[in-house]
Amino acid sequence: MGLVLAAISYDPLVHIDIGPLSVSPHGIGIAVGFLLGARLLLPTTRKHGYRDDDIFSLLTWAAIGSLIGARLAYVVNHASEYENPFEVLMVWKGGISLLGGFFGAILLALPQMRRKKLDFWKLMDAAAPGMALGVIVGRIGDLIVADHLGKPTDFFLGYRCPPPDVETASPCLGDIVHQTALYDFLMTSVLLLVLLRLRRTKRYDGFLITVFGAWYGVQRVIEDFLREDKRMFGDTLTGSQVTAIVTIAICLWHLALVRKSPRWGHWEPDPVEAPTMAAAPAAEAYEGDPAAPEREE
């Protein structure tokens, strides 16, 4: 890949042919990002005393939920583009939503958290840095295939479109265009550093995931104004922006006004206190024992 300050220029690699198989670096990036994000989660869950087997079970459900949620959210936002219901199932033709993947993963793993009596907010705080890392690695896959190319620009981090005979994962509509996957990669990298720093200090359960939701929501609102995508509300906002705005509002309200762990989601059983021997009964038992030696006053 050749990089120049006037614009970023390289020929993307949309497919890797392995015999009869055609593999996308985009899909590889998503898979590796999920695995690395899960790996970053484990040290914190172990500190909470959660068994790895329970966490692996949750991650399995989260992976399935992310696929369903990512596809479903995209289809809802682009329903007019599908001529028949069968096209919805053609995931190999592309079309997923990152935010939908987040919500799908959480919703499908949620019943398992409750069944295993794991604290929802502790788990989400543990997952927040891993979610950021997963986005970063996934965006590397987007950059390799030249996905999420946006509107024309003269910004020095813009992407110079390759010749027409060179394939890109998304249409390159101009000479130099915004490469929003790069912007997301850079801003989420900063977010990851902030989350790793914040988690060093003990705060209420739910703080880290709320910071993640507010921060990532803001950057997605900004980025989507630079994207070429289907919009609603008078051709103003994308579906991801609407979702992000709602998420931002809830997270900022909680960070600014509530500032404590939500009451809901604490399924972890309360620790059982060890019984203690009361001083007075012990004294009475001592005095009532005829074989007991006299005490000094």
Nearest in space to 77 (alpha carbons), one of 228, 237, 239: 239
Please give the Cα distance from 78 to 230 (Å, whole number): 7
User: CB atoms < 10 A from the CB of 155, how many?
Assistant: 14
Please give the Cα distance from 62 to 56 (Å, whole number): 10
Task: Please spell the DSSP secondary structure of 75-137, one letter per residue.
Answer: HHHTGGG-SSGGGGG-GGG----HHHHHHHHHHHHHHHHHHTT--HHHHHHHHHHHHHHHHHH
Please give the Cα distance from 172 to 182 (Å, whole number): 15
Residues in the chain, pLDDT under 50: 1-5, 273-274, 276-297
Q: What does the pLDDT read at residue 232?
A: 86
**Half-sphere exposure of residue 207: CA atoms within 13 angstroms, side-chain side:** 15
pTM of the model: 0.86
Q: What does the pLDDT read at residue 2?
A: 42
Please give the Cα distance from 279 to 291 (Å, whole number): 20
Question: CA-CA-CA-CA torsion for 283, 285, 288, 293, nearest 10 degrees?
Answer: -70
**Half-sphere exposure of residue 49: CA atoms within 13 angstroms, side-chain side:** 7
Query: What count of residues does the chain have?
Result: 297
Please give the Cα distance from 119 to 117 (Å, whole number): 7
Residue pair 226/183 in contact (Cβ under 8 Å)? The answer is: yes
Helix (H) or strand (E) holding 140: helix 120-145
CB neighbour list of residue 135: distance below 8 Å, 6 or more residues apart = 33, 98, 184, 188, 216
**Half-sphere exposure of residue 149: CA atoms within 13 angstroms, side-chain side:** 25
Can you tell me which residue has the tokens 């996934």? 138
Q: What does the pLDDT read at residue 92?
A: 61
